[in-house]
Amino acid sequence: MHLRLVKTFGFEAAHWLPTFPEDHKCRRMHGHSFRVDVAVEGDVSPEKGYLVDYGEITAAFEPLRQQLDHRCLNDVEGLENPTAEMLAVWLWQRLEGVLPLLTEIGVHETCTSACVYRGDAAGPA
């Protein structure tokens, strides 16, 4: 049986987007209640009956959440231009070695705006 698991995490952070036009609202400092979906995919072992313990996904993500929560993302190394796209790639690069079945990172800045990244090998997200 092949399936995909998704674990959702949240954190609060501020940022400003330095590559946006000077008069754009996102060029100014502002904050979001970010939501991140971490997806893993693979074949479920009949003996175990599960793909990955959700606790393993949480353990992998928690150090990253601590680096991001209640921070200015522009001050985090590697996130000097913290767009949703760049944040998704930043998270992927830190999780791919820890979660071998990682298939997708979703970053939600708002209830209606999100970015999905599936790694460079998967082509455009």
CATH value at residue 35? 3.30.479.10
- Active-site entry in 15, 104, 108, 109: 109
Structure tokens at 49: 């009956």
**From the DSSP assignment, how many helices (H) and strands (E) are in the chain?**
2, 5
Is 12 annotated in the active site?
Answer: no
Helices 84-95 and 54-68 pack at an angle, to 10 degrees, of 130
Is 26 annotated in the active site?
Answer: yes
- What pLDDT is stored for residue 97 in this prediction? 92
How many domains does the structure of the chain reveal? 1
The pLDDT profile of the chain, 125 residues, written as one tens digit per residue, is 999 999 999 999 999 999 999 999 989 999 999 999 999 999 999 999 999 999 999 999 999 999 999 999 999 999 999 999 999 999 999 999 999 999 999 999 999 999 999 998 655 44
- Active-site entry in 26, 41, 56, 72: 26
Is 70 annotated in the active site?
Answer: yes
In this prediction the pTM is 0.92
- Active-site entry in 12, 62, 70, 80: 70
Which structural domain, as residue segments, surrounds residue 64? 2-122
